[in-house]
Structure 1
Amino acid sequence: MPALELFCGIGGFAASAAGLDVRIVGALDQSQEALDVYRLNFPAHRTVQTDREKITAEELASFHADFWWLSPPCQPYSVRGARRDLADPRARSLTNIMDEFQRIPEERLPTHLALENVEGFSLSRARERLLDLLAGRGYLVREFRLCPTHLGIPSRRPRYYLAASRLPVQEVRIPPSPGRFPLDAYLDPPLSRNIPQELLVPAGIIDRFRDGMRILDASSPDAYTTCFTSGYGRSIMHAGSYLRQGAAVRRFAPEEIARLLHFPDGFCFPPHMPCRVRWRLIGNSLSVVAVRTVLSAFPAFAR
């Protein structure tokens, strides 16, 4: 099935769709850094750097995609933001796509469409407008809330998902959890006592913010991380968890966060990409295992 990634980022959907009857015909993003990571890991996919605020109905239809994946900016709907919804400039890309979607001729519309966003999207005017638009164009819709912890992953990333189709859409089947996977299974082995400087949290920061920092012991069977955001490595609080290593406290490496999101073995970043950029990009990505579960709502992808 030809699929279009409208907010491809570093390739979360592409990783989720691996092994399914999906052929990526277009992966769109505005960020050159995100596309650099995407191209490194999915070199066979056609990537396009484009401004989604200006993309037209004709351009969207020209991909001849039967499935659209959308993961638009979450800041307009985040509980930690101003929640300006459609008034937020960062909502313009989704607004434009909805405007142009309305102009696409019936015979050129995708059969299926899915969207991922933060839980706050479920209470937004953007959702209301999207639901009205989809209903008006003949789509059946199901909505889900899913967190990786429901699937045994020791990392919280609760998200809202929408699955829309011109064909019947089924309930998402969450497989029985085998229990929570241990956190230390996702971590890099400690190669030495020296923690890389970009990961080390200074003692003064810990003393000042300890009460608001989630510092984990990886050996604890109950350890799980909070949601990693694009501000991780820059913001001290409300951006993700920390790890106790010996007497020190360190940040999670971007590669460790990618494993917690269940990106495949071998997923990598360009070698010269700074750690702070890797954190920002992975914080803007999605849970591969959760998205793969949501795709089971479409009979064409169900196994």
Structure 2
Amino acid sequence: MTLAAPLDLLKQARARFTQREIAAHVGKDIKTVRRWEKGETPCPSMLEPALRDLLHSSGRTKAGSATGDAQFRFIDLFAGIGGIRMGFEAHGGDCVFTSEWNDFSTKTYRENYPPGGDHALIGDIVSFPAEEVPSHDVLLGGFPCQPFSIAGVSKKNALGRPHGFECTTQGTLFFDVARIIAAKRPAAFLLENVKNLLSHDKGRTFDVILQTLRDELGYEVHYRVVDGQHFTPQHRERIIIVGFRGKTSFSWDDLRLPESGPRLGSILHRTDGSEPVLPWDHDRFFDHASKRVQPKYTLTPNLWTYLQNYAAKHRAAGNGFGFGMAYPESVTRTLSARYHKDGSEILVYQGEQLRPRRLTPRECARLMGFPDTFRIPVSDTQAYRQFGNSVVMPVMREVARIMLPHVQTLLAVETHNGSKQALSLYS
């Protein structure tokens, strides 16, 4: 089914670019673009960010905003390679501040989001003064949840010592999110984490987080576990926590989650001659001359034998451990940061006569919902780690869509109230 948003963006792009220019930017053949435009084949939804990026390059706005101006300002904490940022830029946001401590992730981030204007990209947020963070409307953070305990709070109560979020989460990276929210008071925030955050320490960890956000900081908070397989062929459940500085009618029921998502075959390199030649990839992952994935991604005989024996050993013991074979019609297991070690959670079937293979880093990018315009300037090992730690970008884009009307309402009300207050000072 052709989705309206990508097709509309394609029409907008055609008013400024030739079919050849569009094809080169999105990494497709010119004949494919022509078929999209004629309606002969659907324009894929995964191309929406790439088309928005093309419109931005023509001097429109950073995220394809129809107004020509950024609709809201946001900051990107624990940014990784920018998956959450990309989702919010797709709805007219302007990123004014980024924090990412890993040098390899920063390299990928800079390659895909060149610094401009007053935007700052810093390293570790822990030592950065909250008051120096730019003012912003939305705070984004895929914060790592390092285990922490609330043990000792009762004792501090008895001793009359202060506690609250500065005590109960001290030493964790969530504390840095909380202190920035406390100092800058954004209209809204989005935090993302693993599903297990809900059950960590028998639920006490999550209780502290909610108490901090709701009671200490005074935000209206909503959370939900969303599975990425609605948008990409990967079972990937993550908890998303959103908060607003005032009362809203926000509802998770507004999410548009396709019942039947894509299958693995939609993101694999195509061996029928239609695999796009990406100028930033060349033949790094796919040999276009032979029309096949580079041989280095096929498991070695020793590794394949080891994984089969390992799986057989655990089956005999009644355990469920083992490799995960994936087929074109499959939805894969969750891609992890350890994928570079043996690829065991997602092995691509290559027929009875061939050993299975790993996904290539480009296929991992597609599995996380990144467009083919996304550049991979790091080694395969680092790329696997980065995509395994990233977010499913279309999930972030969809959550941004349902958040932003409430953000805009809050900002409009506060602007109106501020104007009334200013008028009263001079009356």
- Partner amino acid, structure 2, of 1:146: V
CA contact under 8 A between 2:231 and 2:395: conserved in structure 1? no
Flag the structure with higher helix content. Answer: 2
When residues 40 and 47 of structure 1 are mapped into structure 2, their CA distance, relative to the original with a 3 A threshold, is farther
Question: Structure 1 residue 143 and structure 2 residue 250: aligned?
Answer: no
- Alignment of structure 1 residues 37-76 onto 2, 5 Å: 37-44=108-115, 46-60=119-133, 63-74=134-145, 76=146
- The aligned residue for residue 162 of structure 1 is 241
**1:233 match: secondary structure:** helix
When residues 243 and 187 of structure 1 are mapped into structure 2, their CA distance, relative to the original with a 3 A threshold, is same
Give, in angstroms, the shift of residue 293 of structure 1: 2.1
Q: Deviations over 1:155-175 (max 9, x none)?
A: 111000101001315122232
Question: Structure 1 residue 15 and structure 2 residue 86: aligned?
Answer: yes
In the aligned structure 1, how far is the partner of 2:324 from the partner of 2:406?
Answer: 37
Question: Structure 1 residue 268 and structure 2 residue 268: aligned?
Answer: no
**1:53 match: secondary structure:** coil
The answer for unaligned runs of 5 or more in structure 2 is 1-71, 151-168, 272-286, 312-321, 408-427
- Alignment of structure 1 residues 204-223 onto 2, 5 Å: 204-210=302-308, 211=311, 212-218=322-328, 221=329, 223=330
TM-score by length of 2: 0.60
Indicate which of 192, 196, 202 corresponds to 2:294. Answer: 196
**2:174 match: secondary structure:** helix
Give, in angstroms, the shift of residue 243 of structure 1: 0.3
RMSD, aligned CA: 2.6
- Alignment of structure 1 residues 82-161 onto 2, 5 Å: 84-85=147-148, 92-99=172-179, 101-102=181-182, 104=183, 108-124=184-200, 125-135=204-214, 136-149=216-229, 151-161=230-240
- Partner amino acid, structure 2, of 1:41: N
In the aligned structure 2, how far is the partner of 1:20 from the partner of 1:67?
Answer: 13
CA contact under 8 A between 1:147 and 1:159: conserved in structure 2? yes
- The number of residues matched between the two structures is 279
- The aligned residue for residue 234 of structure 1 is 341
**1:248 match: secondary structure:** coil
**Structure number with bigger Rg:** 2
Give, in angstroms, the shift of residue 198 of structure 1: 4.1
- The aligned residue for residue 401 of structure 2 is 296
Question: Structure 1 residue 27 and structure 2 residue 106: aligned?
Answer: no
**1:145 match: secondary structure:** strand
In the aligned structure 2, how far is the partner of 1:55 from the partner of 1:128?
Answer: 26
**1:17 match: secondary structure:** helix
**1:262 match: secondary structure:** coil
Give, in angstroms, the shift of residue 249 of structure 1: 0.9
- Partner amino acid, structure 1, of 2:90: G
TM-score by length of 1: 0.83
Give, in angstroms, the shift of residue 7 of structure 1: 1.1
CA contact under 8 A between 1:199 and 1:250: conserved in structure 2? yes
- Partner amino acid, structure 1, of 2:388: G
- The aligned residue for residue 79 of structure 1 is none
Give, in angstroms, the shift of residue 193 of structure 1: 7.5
Give, in angstroms, the shift of residue 255 of structure 1: 1.2
CA contact under 8 A between 2:77 and 2:98: conserved in structure 1? yes
**1:206 match: secondary structure:** helix
CA contact under 8 A between 1:55 and 1:96: conserved in structure 2? no
When residues 152 and 289 of structure 1 are mapped into structure 2, their CA distance, relative to the original with a 3 A threshold, is closer
Give, in angstroms, the shift of residue 205 of structure 1: 2.1
Per chain length, whose mean CA-contact separation is higher, i.e. which structure has more relative contact order (CA < 8 Å, sep 6+)?
Answer: 1
Give, in angstroms, the shift of residue 101 of structure 1: 4.1
Give, in angstroms, the shift of residue 178 of structure 1: 5.9
The answer for unaligned runs of 5 or more in structure 1 is 77-83
**1:160 match: secondary structure:** strand
